[in-house]
């Protein structure tokens, strides 16, 4: 039993090497697309998982920040600054005392704001509030006080360091 393949005159069947080359190209293109797709999905997942570790390393690397000319901060006002990657605040209270606190809410990590008129630190995300002197959580969902730093006033600025 033999099979006969008819072919019209002038029509040539592609050589086997051309077919193999096209198949290899299609597979290579699919492989490259697969790698790009995996990267597009995998990189954000990697960043999401790795960022807390990187953040913790960056935070622990910084032990002191000098805020130049911050000694001139008026009474009852606040200066926002970064302690490493962490938003932080330096408050110059009406009684002349200085308080440096992390500005990262201990509930879900929003940046909190000092409200001098109410003398409270407020988180706009879920209404959490903190004592602006001690950093203690006083109402709302925050489970812990704000991290407190040591603030030392010098002639040229305020040096904020870990306790
Ligand atoms: S993140 Fe601040 S109260 Fe929820």
Largest interatomic CA distance in the chain: 107
User: CB of 99 within 8 A of CB of 151?
Assistant: yes
Q: Are residues 94 and 141 in the same domain?
A: yes
Please count the other Cβ atoms lying within 10 Å of the Cβ belonging to residue 29: 10
Q: Are residues 51 and 76 in the same domain?
A: no
H or E, element range at 48: helix 16-61
Q: Are residues 136 and 89 in the same domain?
A: yes
Identify the domain containing residue 133 by its residue range.
64-162
Report the pLDDT value the prediction gives residue 45, as an integer from 0 to 100.
73
**CA 22 to ligand 1 center in whole angstroms:** 57
Domains: count for the chain: 2
Q: Are residues 74 and 57 in the same domain?
A: no
Q: Are residues 76 and 136 in the same domain?
A: yes
User: CB of 43 within 8 A of CB of 36?
Assistant: no
Q: Are residues 47 and 82 in the same domain?
A: no
- The pTM assigned to this predicted structure is 0.68
**CA 145 to ligand 1 center in whole angstroms:** 12
Q: Are residues 55 and 89 in the same domain?
A: no
Q: Phi and psi dihedrals of 57, rounded to 5?
A: -65, -45
CATH number reported for the structural domain that contains residue 91 in this entry: 2.102.10.10
For ligand 1, atom 1, the nearest C-alpha belongs to: 108
Residues lower than pLDDT 70 in the chain: 1-15, 36, 46-48, 50, 55-59
CA distances from 160 to 5, 65, 66, 72, 134 (A): 87, 5, 6, 15, 16
**From the CB of 108, is ligand 1 less than 6 Å away?**
yes
Q: Are residues 152 and 100 in the same domain?
A: yes
Q: Are residues 30 and 108 in the same domain?
A: no
């Amino acid at each position: 039993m033999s099979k006969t393949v008819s072919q019209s005159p002038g029509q040539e069947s592609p050589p086997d090497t051309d077919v193999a080359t096209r198949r290899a190209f299609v597979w290579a293109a699919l492989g490259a697309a697969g790698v790009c797709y995996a990267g597009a999905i995998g990189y954000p997942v990697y960043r999401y998982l790795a960022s807390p570790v990187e953040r913790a390393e960056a935070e622990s690397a910084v032990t002191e920040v000098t805020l130049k000319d911050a000694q001139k901060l008026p009474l009852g006002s606040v200066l926002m600054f970064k302690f490493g990657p962490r938003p932080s605040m330096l408050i110059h209270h009406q009684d002349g005392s200085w308080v440096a606190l992390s500005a990262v809410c201990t509930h879900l990590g929003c940046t909190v704001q000092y409200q001098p008129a109410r003398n409270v630190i407020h988180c706009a995300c879920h209404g959490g509030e903190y004592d602006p002197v001690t950093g203690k959580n006083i109402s709302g969902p925050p489970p812990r006080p704000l991290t407190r730093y040591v603030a030392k006033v010098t002639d040229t600025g305020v040096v904020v360091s870990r306790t």
